[in-house]
Chains A and B, each alone.
Chain A
């Protein structure tokens, strides 16, 4: 009898210990272009954290590309457990076209599901030979500007809206703003599909005098591609860019990965992850971390997508849908 109890206890203890033997799990994070370095460090941190808490090994696979293109792939069946895209509009698009994500996704995590934010700045060559200080300098004759295609890239759309916001504020009317962006895009020799392609064209192939890009991408390029080769120019006014994250409901429910996927996104808000976020050049949400890294992120006047543009849905329809403003102002090829 005694040994029976003892073995029952032992079996119980074994069962308690079983979670440490839980089968390894994989997640697929479908993300936009410049976040490769960020998620490499975040994924390692989360895997350690999750293993310590649950005993389960987790591997996070990454897919990167232009934000709009990535959303399209998820809609077409790329099995993402989580999407971490450049703007909420792209996740809305997934929710609307495929019902893979619940429509209320933005309310499920703090800050409307944006664990970090950034802004749009300029990257110029060393010494700033074309003397680019603000948006007006971009449309001066002889200045070649690199920015990706707003049809496919997320950062590209933020770039466009930042330029539009500046022009509307400076020149007063939408007509004047349209005229400004028409001039601006006439100075663009090539529209890449994503932010990273544009950076490589600017930095490695020597195209263009100025690159309009995410602050985090500009910092990465300035840091990684040889210190002193480039300079970051912060314009007088820009836009508050808020990359969004969401669990892809239908996929996690089918794969049984909801718990770990939700923990993964929640991890992004922890001080440890916020630290990694700041270190990778994204502006953190955590006040303490933000204060520590304040020197890296200059203050500037910022437009807001909801306040100034009526949200992504409206902005998408007004500016980027087929036949909308961008199609009307941009004519590719030699002009």
Chain B
């Protein structure tokens, strides 16, 4: 009997070893380094760094920004992909291109766009100042920049999925008298929920980790407008390596939590996942 695998055994092992080695080098090793550096001066130094008020503010700020940006991008992403996949209209290609824009624009440029719009020398800056509204160098600017950067993640995940699933089920639901909302909620949403979850996780990871765009609009006020990635850079630049890596473990921790949530959901809903194949 002939097996499906034709490659010699040594080649299979070699490929597996290569893949694992690559993972170890590029993922496991940096993670180990982060934790090793963070605990280099012992648990006390680590805890002191984590409990530092500036670190806590940075953590809170990062979570706040993500908590605003991610839900908004879920709504935008759903609306955009729903419109693109289920309807035909003029300018659709343009819309798809626009959604991809944040992927192709450098984050620094993304940040500068907001400075040019809302900065004191920008279009709306003087008006905002007269009305006591602070957008850049404050939390709203951080949220806007993050929103822009993470905009494509949900939509990009959903568009191909929705296009592949086609419109038949929705059309059937509508022809049977379901309202648009009911169709979305009972037909579309269950079909796309795994894609949506991936999109949300990616979006969230990027929202918490974004550096470039946020750096431009932050103003770097310690204890006020520094998110975790910015705070890590500052600590590193102050030769405060233990604190920098300690705070980095917080960021790594947030990423790990995200992964655990994803794995748990996959395990919990394994059957449905297999059933829908999404």
Contacts and interface: CB of A to CB of B under 8 A. Distances in A.
A225 interface: yes
B221 A61 contact: yes
Interface in B115-138: 115, 118-122, 125, 129, 134, 136-137
A237 B236 CA distance: 32
Contacts, number: 55
Contact of A225 (B219, B237, B239): B239
Interface in B70-126: 115, 118-122, 125
Given A196-B237, A197-B237, A76 B222 contact: no
B140 interface: no
Given A76-B136, A225-B239, A63 B221 contact: yes
B7 interface: no
Interface in A37-88: 37, 61-65, 73, 75-79
Nearest to B216: A73
Contacts of B220: 63-65
A77 B221 contact: no
Contacts of B122: 76
A93 to B, nearest CB: 12
Contacts of B156: none
Nearest to A77: B120
Nearest to A196: B237
Contact of B134 (A61, A62, A73, A79): A79
A313 interface: no
Summarize B's interface: helix, strand, loop or mixed.
loop
A200 interface: yes
Contacts of B137: 73, 76-79
Interface string B52-74: 00000000000000000000000
B222 A224 contact: no
Contacts of B222: 61-63
Best-buried of B115, B224, B237 by chain A (most CB within 10 Å): B237
18 contacts: A28-B221, A37-B238, A61-B221, A61-B222, A61-B223, A62-B222, A63-B220, A63-B222, A64-B220, A65-B220, A76-B120, A76-B122, A76-B125, A77-B121, A77-B125, A97-B121, A98-B120, A203-B239
Interface of A: 28, 36-37, 61-65, 73, 75-79, 97-98, 196-197, 200, 203, 221, 224-225
